Structure 1
């Protein structure tokens, strides 16, 4: 009886194991059948799929080692997240399609690998009714945007969507966006014609642009003029070859409610912080709190914007809620210059943090 009193209950043992550095260690799971089954659903809710988990099949293609386990009926309702971003494979689209179909009843997050995502997986996505995150940013294969739109119309719970960077242009606009969508990353075959005709949902509060090789400043302005008022976070990153070297200058004008702004210096100039485009809002204080200015390191970029432009905007209280400024080490600015010291001193006076990224 004394020995029985010293034994911990199963619930407490599992709770202790959850806080260990490696809670799903095989040795822990083999302690007893009860512990094994209590952790099993957590192991399969987010399976670790990496390149080392792959093996060649009879056709010399590559499929996940635990693909068969995922397909077993008793496991298919456990999988909630499939993150294939670390998987480098050259397999068939049918494998990806089958994997999506077998996990469709429980899948909430899907992050695609660079390859093996085409027409068949797009059709299988339609059956993932609980999907909240669809991230296709790494996909390098050509994806038909029209088919992608048909698929996401069947996903009522979708909240975050990342377009593939190699998608083909789309001339169809008669589709329904998911009602809960709040995050959108635009990539690939987005054109000015598309930007002018598509009506993005007002629920979007976070918008990102990258790899839009067809989009010009006109298309960018069209999109921001439609939904900019709702945005709290905006990101315009390299490469965006056709928007010009000042294409993002009107971001603050179109998006007065931004709290976070991430931009490459290749697409802005000193006018971003000018009195005409960065105006003082009459109804409320501009809520911008964080801004990051990135750079690819190309020569001549440092002349487009100077620390004085930011210093003046802060000194004139056109950024009353500003808290953090991130500057790329590749900007080409002399971080020991008088202008930089003046900016840091002025920002510090307003309790604004300046840091390198």
Structure 2
């Protein structure tokens, strides 16, 4: 008879968990739950990653609430699992949750919570008090909240959350009045996402007081703001031009075709850009007419470019920014540092000439530009640790783990 070991060292179990962590969220959670059910030893090893970032939807959410909040009053019955939760993602919760339940969950998980994504319909005024006690919170995402929130309460809460690094403001707002003058942005804030009614006095206060932003702010998203046009976006970006390296601009129906062509000039240190094709045209980039190979060292610092669409219809087809225009900017090395190119399928670039332009772009970016930068040790390859790699060919470099991570790539984005 075949014999089986009824005991495995914790080190082996931890190696198995490392393998499971690479799976998608649902598969990982289901597997970890079965892992915990094997015996007490396996439970002790896997219970922390199981509750670290739970996937909550439908009946799983109800069971989660009963586990974390076995009693309405925390001092009557505590859950030993409540301090294990680092990420509380309620983005999949719509109608089965209540506002009091959300507040209760925040109160129970406050000791270890680092990321909170608010639900669409069950976040209200009674949640602020609990949220302000989550002093280890690093990411606050309110983008899905459908009800108008109290920005006075938001400003008071932000003063208590000194470790916040990213804030996503809600899309549905009647007004931001009262926030701009009273808010004290967290000292470690790195990313800010502006949505909703970003105009009027709120926008004016942002433009007038750029010094109120901490020096750590390097990433800005402006999206789902129907009242904001290029005349408001440009001065806001230029006020932060010395610090911004990552910018996202999409779903802005009031921005006309071609109005954001100069975004690379407004932000001289920009390394990552996500922008809708509706806002740029064939003049995007403004490559000088006298650009020559001698000018290549002055290439734009842009390393990542994501092109999406916002569904605008008032666009002149003859002036659209095309794959050929992008090919020219890369081929002339005006975007000589570009490594990561993401293109939404809704751009329909794949449909033009049976996708020949996309294939040509990929060959230029991956086979030509990245190879050239490696061989000449330019840009991101200039300071790489070359121990034992001085004579390594580019194809050999791509087979290494670091080479696969740093190598250029082009991706087509589905459902975008």
**TM-score with structure 1 setting the length:** 0.82
- Answer yes or no: is the 8 Å Cα contact 2:156–2:183 preserved in 1: yes
Instruction: Provide Cα deviations, 1:81-106, integer angstroms capped at 9, x if missing partner.
Output: 11112222254322211111121121
- Structure 1 residue 258: Cα displacement: 1.6
Equivalent residue of 2:346, what SS?
A: coil
Aligned to 1:115: 121
**Aligned equivalent of 2:151:** 145
Change (3 A) 1:19 1:313: closer
* SS class of match (2:193): strand
Deviation at 1:129, TM superposition (A): 0.2
| 1:328 is aligned to 2:344 | yes
* Residues 247-301 of structure 1: per-residue CA shift (max 9 Å, x gap): 3223111212222211111112223222379x99999542212212212455546
Question: Counterpart of 1:236?
Answer: 249
SS of the residue corresponding to residue 184 of structure 2 reads: coil
Q: How many residues align?
A: 345
| Structure 2 match to 1:265 | 277
Change in 2 beyond 3 A, CA 1:309/1:192: farther
User: Does the CA-based 8 Å contact 2:299-2:333 persist in structure 1?
Assistant: no
Instruction: Verify the 8 A CA contact 2:54 2:87 in the aligned structure 1.
Output: yes
Q: In the alignment, what sits opposite 1:350?
A: 369
Query: Does the 8 A contact of 1:235 with 1:263 survive in 2?
Result: yes
Contact 1:114–1:139 (8 Å) recurs in 2 = yes
Alpha-carbon distance change, 250 to 29 in structure 1, aligned in 2, over 3 angstroms: same
The residue matched to 1:321 in structure 2 has which SS? coil
Instruction: Tell me, in whole angstroms, the C-alpha distance in 1 between the residues paired with 2:111 and 2:155.
Output: 21
Task: Tell whether the 8 Å contact from 2:83 to 2:111 is kept in structure 1 after alignment.
Answer: yes
CA distance in 1, matches of 2:238, 2:205: 13
SS in 2 for 1:167: coil
Could you tell me which residue of structure 2 aligns to residue 133 of structure 1?
139
* Alpha-carbon distance in 2 for matches of 1:41, 1:326: 35
Give the equivalent residue in structure 2 for 1:66.
67
Change over 3 Å in CA distance of 1:95–1:337 after alignment to 2: closer
What are the ranges of 5 or more consecutive residues in structure 1 without an aligned counterpart? Answer: 56-61
Task: Choose from 183, 189, 192 the match for 1:181.
Answer: 189
Q: Given the alignment, which residue of 307, 317, 322 partners 1:293?
A: 307
Deviation at 1:144, TM superposition (A): 2.8
Q: In the alignment, which residue of structure 2 is the partner of 1:97?
A: 103
Query: For residues 93 and 171 of structure 2, what CA distance do their matches in structure 1 show?
Result: 18
Q: Would you say 1:306 and 2:322 are equivalent positions?
A: yes
**Kept in 1: contact 2:69–2:79 (CA 8 A):** no
Q: Secondary structure at the match of 1:356?
A: strand
| Distance verdict in 2 for CA 1:11–1:133, change over 3 Å | same
Structure 2 gap ranges (5+): 21-27, 371-407
Query: Structure 1 residue 353: deviation in Å?
Result: 5.3
Q: Is the 8 A contact 1:158 1:178 kept in 2?
A: yes
Q: Distance in 2 between matches of 1:215 and 1:98?
A: 36
**Displacement of 1:118:** 1.6
Change in Cα spacing, 1:337 to 1:314, as seen in structure 2 (3 Å) is same
C-alpha deviation, 1:224, in angstroms: 0.3
Q: Distance in 2 between matches of 1:342 and 1:101?
A: 52
Find the counterpart in structure 1 of residue 54 from structure 2: 47
Which residue is equivalent to 2:13? 14
Tell me the CA shift for residue 19 of structure 1: 4.6
| Pairwise CA distance, 1:356 | 3.4
Moved more, 306-315 or 160-169: 306-315
